Amino acid sequence: MIESIYFAPDIRRNSLEELEESINAKRVKRLILSQKYSTTVLDKANLLKEKELIAFEKQKILLDKALLKVTDDIEKCYERLKKLVDKHDTINSIEQTIEKNS
């Protein structure tokens, strides 16, 4: 008797319609979850890129400062070397003068 009620045409039609609605609802849920996951992944990737960009900019600033310091140090060394060469030339000139007078 239960089998005859279950297989009645109205119940089968209702069951098929409910099944289709259930399947469609599951598809929509999967689509929504897929969209949420994609959005989350993209947001994380964008955040990571922003962090990497900030870190890169900080490293560039440090590099620029280091390059400026090295350039300044090279200029100071050049000036000191120039003064040393001038002193050497002066000493050399004095020695030559002394040798001529001797």
pLDDT range class, residue 14, cuts 50, 70, 90: low
Query: Which spans in the chain are helix H?
Result: 2-6, 9-101
Q: What are phi and psi of 99, to 5 degrees?
A: -65, -40
This prediction has a pTM of: 0.51
pLDDT digits (tens, 9 = 90+) for 38-87: 999 999 999 999 999 999 999 999 999 999 999 999 999 999 999 999 99
**Rounded percentage of the chain residues whose pLDDT exceeds 90:** 62
d(CA 77, CA 90): 20
pLDDT range class, residue 35, cuts 50, 70, 90: very high
